[in-house]
Chain A
Amino acid sequence: NAGVTQTPKFRILKIGQSMTLQCAQDMNHNYMYWYRQDPGMGLKLIYYSVGAGITDKGEVPNGYNVSRSTTEDFPLRLELAAPSQTSVYFCASSQTGGLAGRLEYEQFFGPGTRLTVL
């Protein structure tokens, strides 16, 4: 099991450019998440998905888009990159309760993508 994988590890963008951060998980988790972490801060939720075809906004969704066409993949799209989007981006996944019979689920995180917008 690779767990949660993210590509690329690092990227430098110019203002106004676009890019897609890739995230994949091989644990058959229904729930997937995108967070960003700014220096000295905690992680903030950008978007999340409860299953293929279903996405919802988190705390800081502006400037981002997501899609979830398969259970495994949850790409994050940045359109018109701005310096305020310089951050480390983490993707995570978790299992739902019905199958596991539990009410609480830890989220498993990928290694992150460090993005700089200049």
Chain B
Amino acid sequence: GAGVSQSPSNKVTEKGKDVELRCDPISGHTALYWYRQSLGQGLEFLIYFQGNSAPDKSGLPSDRFSAERTGGSVSTLTIQRTQQEDSAVYLCASSPQLRTEAFFGQGTRLTVV
């Protein structure tokens, strides 16, 4: 079956522009995570959605970052006024329920020039 799909695969943007990253989770998965990974580093938690509950936004690094999940399915991560330090791979994952195995997409590599 289809896995977690992220688009675009790569994105190069100019400093100061807004970007929108998309994640299509596995159908039926109620939990959805966004992580950020800088080159050679671990995964930095950004935000978590679970069903219809309010998302946990505690990992968002600044108010330039926001995310939404429409209809409990597709999620978009928006970064406004991008900065060079936003350059990283943004990974999305979904899981069927709390605390179970997470299925990752291939990520979006964002480069801010």
Same complex for A and B? Answer no
A contacts, CB < 8 Å to B: none
B contacts, CB < 8 Å to A: none
